[in-house]
Structure 1
Amino acid sequence: MSPALLLPVGLAALLALVIPVVIHIARRTESRTIDFAALRWLDAAPKPRRSLMIDERLLLAARLLLLALTALWLATPVLRNAADTRPIVAVAPGTDAATVAAATAKGDHVVWLAPGFPEHGALAPAASDDIVSLVRQLDAELPAAAPVKVVVPATLENVDAERPKLSRRVEWTVGAEASSRRTASSAPPSLTVRYAPEVQGAVRYFRAAARAWTPANTEPAFDAASIDRAVPGNTRQLVWLAPGPVPEPVEAWVRDGGVILTVLEARIPVEGETVPVWRGTAGEPLAVAGRLSRGRVIRLTRVLEPAAIPQLVEPDFPDALQIMLDPRPAPARVAAVDHAPLSGAAPYEQPPLDLRPWLGLLIAMIFAAERWFATRRTRAVAP
């Protein structure tokens, strides 16, 4: 810990210390006259003798100390490196008690990994929706010398897609799985294709992708027909394999929230800029996407044939097609053991401890003492 002044110019107020000294010298306590009978023994013309005297020295000392403390308060005194460096154990709500007991030791400062970081002895708060953000906040608010241990359940919910990077190494303790949960398997994605006669041969690429999405011994949810057949109302993704303008009913379906993938020769409006959603091995964009009201438009940038797009016949084409039509959300539920924080981030500068509240309390006490010295009935009287 090291004391410092954030505003040293405030010490210029120490010049005011001269004021009470001058007042006490110039305005001494009223003198009292004492009658003395033997005046004949006194010299008729005595020479007056003057000496510099200060009355009520305690009152003067209180006033000088009051001014000095006020000047120090104006200079904003602080204490650097005064933060608590005890080991911190942050426990995520929902962690089993056995893991918490094994992870804590005598002298540790145990808190809940919850907003405000309440003491662990308090009532357990509700589980937070963003454990990782709370870990980052804890890392930012603690001094660099404070060891940190984080105790979390086996599974984390609503986490970022990237492991957090902190300014220190954190001891990451994972508890037991609270309960076994199974995620319901989602139905295989369905795909609707509408094609012109001259492009009918390209349908096989999308039929193969639909089969790859579907478990064995199950028929894929695949609907392929010519462009003169209407698009079903329950269609979620549509592949349009026909040159020229897209019919108005199909465009209206897209504006209402549909997703359409078109060949290079198709024409359909796009609002705003487009972004690449499928790239080749050299990074070249093979498909771009843009918005159309509430829907999405994906347009191939090359002719739909293996000579122009070799990825059509590669094993990962079904995955690329599914990501284009239905982008995967960022992972939100992961195993805690795989999401341990990384270290190496720049340390956060800790704010110094402001001493002005304590100094203000001392100033109030000195002021009360000064008022008592100045107003008491038995003040000293000069003889």
Structure 2
Amino acid sequence: MSPALLLPAGLAALLALAIPVVIHIARRTESRTVDFAALRWLDPQPKPRRSLTIDERLLLAARLLLLALIAAWLATPVLWNVADDRPIVAVAPGADAATVAAATAKGDRVVWLAPGFPEHGAITPAAPYDVVSLIRQLDAELPPGAPVKLVVPATLDGVDAERPKLSRRIAWTVGAEAPARRVASPAPPVLTVRYAPEAEGAVVYFRAAATAWTTADATPAFDAGPIDRAVPGNARHLIWLSSGPVPANVETWVRNGGVILTSLEARIPVEGETVPVWRGTAGEPLAVAGRLGRGRVIRLTRALEPAAIPQLVEPGFPDALLTMLDPRPAPAHVAAVDHAPLTGAAPYEQPPLDLRPWLALLIALIFAGERWLATRRTRGVAP
């Protein structure tokens, strides 16, 4: 540990130490006059004799100490190199207990690889976390010389495309392969279509997409009707095939969280910039999307016909439409043995330990003692 002052200029406050000394010398403790006989025989104007004395030295010492501590607090005292450099074992949620026990030695500090790095004996974190980001954070918060072991499950979720690069070598321990879990595929969205008479022919493309989303033994979740038919209250995805402004009630529905895909001729406001969400074979944008309240607006950039958008009659259109209306997060699973961190990153400078909170507590205690000495009833009185 190395003590230091981040603001040495704060020690200039030590000049205030002269104040209580001067006060105690110039204004001695209260005196009282005692009458006694034969005062007439005394010289009415004696020559005064003065000696430099200081009364209540304990009170003066308390005040001097209080001022010195305040000056030290202003100078921002810190201690460098006080971080815990014990070996640490970080366990990612999902790692099996047998692997954790085998990787842990006596004296190791075992923590969860979770926000705040709680002790491993605490409750198991339930929520999935970004393991790679937590590994980088752990590397940054530990002193350079602290050994680190990481115990992870056989499969990591939510990882980056690149292996993490750390400032130290770590022991990378991979647990046993967990039993395969069957994840149910999300249900396809219910597709609601509202069309003008001149656009009725385009409904067939969306009916075909809804049919492709559905298994052979089920009925497609598809609702098509003219533009004067109300949008169901439970609808979440709307195809609007009509020119001119979108009705106010439909715009309100979008602002409350709905997703609308409009033809090129439809008009609906969009907040902020739009981004392409569907591109052609040459990279040209076929549809752009933007925000409107809590909802999304997707607008086609070309007429809704195969001559302008050949992808309408291609096998990939149902998937493209599903991605536009209900984008799913890309899977990010990787085998842990293939994602061991690399070394070579620059070491992180560890922050010092700030001593001011402890000084503040000591200052409060000394101040309470000084007040007690200054106001006590048995305070000394000079003769």
Taking structure 1 as the reference length, the TM-score comes to 0.61
Pick which of 84-93 and 161-170 moved more. 161-170
- 1:43-82 residue pairs with structure 2 within 5 A? 80-82=80-82
2:155 is the alignment partner of 1:124: no
**Whole-angstrom CA distance in 1 between matches of 2:73 and 2:134:** 35
**Whole-angstrom CA distance in 1 between matches of 2:281 and 2:345:** 33
2:295 is the alignment partner of 1:287: no
CA contact (8 A) 2:258 2:296 kept: yes
CA contact (8 A) 1:270 1:290 kept: no
For 1:20, the equivalent position in structure 2 comes to none
% same residue: 70
SS of the aligned residue for 1:186 comes to: coil
- 1:219-258 residue pairs with structure 2 within 5 A? 221=220, 223=222, 225=224, 227=226, 230=229, 233=232, 234-247=234-247, 250-251=250-251, 253-255=253-255, 257-258=257-258
Q: Which amino acid in the other structure matches residue 127 of structure 2? A: D
Change (3 A) 1:180 1:119: same
CA contact (8 A) 1:114 1:125 kept: no
Change (3 A) 1:343 1:321: farther
2:138 is the alignment partner of 1:145: no
**Whole-angstrom CA distance in 2 between matches of 1:155 and 1:322:** 28
User: Where in structure 1 are there 5+ consecutive unaligned residues?
Assistant: 17-65, 362-383
CA contact (8 A) 1:202 1:305 kept: yes
Change (3 A) 1:173 1:354: same
For 1:191, the equivalent position in structure 2 comes to 191
| Structure 1 residue 142, shift from structure 2 partner | 0.6
RMSD: 5.7
CA contact (8 A) 1:194 1:227 kept: yes
SS of the aligned residue for 2:203 comes to: helix
| Structure 1 residue 291, shift from structure 2 partner | 4.1
**Whole-angstrom CA distance in 2 between matches of 1:355 and 1:246:** 63
For 1:278, the equivalent position in structure 2 comes to 278
| Structure 1 residue 351, shift from structure 2 partner | 1.5
Q: Which amino acid in the other structure matches residue 273 of structure 1? A: G
**Whole-angstrom CA distance in 1 between matches of 2:6 and 2:72:** 11
**Whole-angstrom CA distance in 2 between matches of 1:227 and 1:12:** 82
**Whole-angstrom CA distance in 2 between matches of 1:304 and 1:223:** 19
**Whole-angstrom CA distance in 1 between matches of 2:140 and 2:238:** 48
SS of the aligned residue for 1:212 comes to: helix
Q: Which amino acid in the other structure matches residue 176 of structure 2? A: A
For 1:213, the equivalent position in structure 2 comes to 213
Q: Which amino acid in the other structure matches residue 318 of structure 2? A: P
SS of the aligned residue for 1:185 comes to: coil
**Whole-angstrom CA distance in 2 between matches of 1:218 and 1:334:** 32
CA contact (8 A) 2:210 2:222 kept: no
- 1:257-276 residue pairs with structure 2 within 5 A? 257-267=257-267, 269-276=268-275
For 2:19, the equivalent position in structure 1 comes to none
For 1:113, the equivalent position in structure 2 comes to 113
CA contact (8 A) 1:89 1:151 kept: yes
Q: How many residues align?
A: 338
CA contact (8 A) 1:93 1:125 kept: no
For 1:176, the equivalent position in structure 2 comes to 176
**Whole-angstrom CA distance in 2 between matches of 1:13 and 1:187:** 71
**Whole-angstrom CA distance in 2 between matches of 1:219 and 1:117:** 48
CA contact (8 A) 1:152 1:336 kept: no
| Structure 1 residue 119, shift from structure 2 partner | 4.6
**Whole-angstrom CA distance in 2 between matches of 1:200 and 1:78:** 75
Change (3 A) 1:347 1:303: farther
Q: Which amino acid in the other structure matches residue 220 of structure 2? A: A
SS of the aligned residue for 2:145 comes to: coil
CA contact (8 A) 1:136 1:164 kept: no
For 1:62, the equivalent position in structure 2 comes to none
For 1:296, the equivalent position in structure 2 comes to 296
**Whole-angstrom CA distance in 2 between matches of 1:76 and 1:88:** 30
For 2:320, the equivalent position in structure 1 comes to 320
Change (3 A) 1:14 1:281: same
SS of the aligned residue for 1:193 comes to: strand
Change (3 A) 1:310 1:145: farther
**Whole-angstrom CA distance in 2 between matches of 1:73 and 1:256:** 54
Query: 1:77-105: per-residue Cα shift (whole Å, max 9, x none)?
Result: 65544544443211245532211122234
Q: Which amino acid in the other structure matches residue 147 of structure 1? A: P
Change (3 A) 1:3 1:176: same
CA contact (8 A) 2:136 2:166 kept: no
| Structure 1 residue 205, shift from structure 2 partner | 3.2
| Structure 1 residue 258, shift from structure 2 partner | 3.2
**Whole-angstrom CA distance in 1 between matches of 2:93 and 2:294:** 39
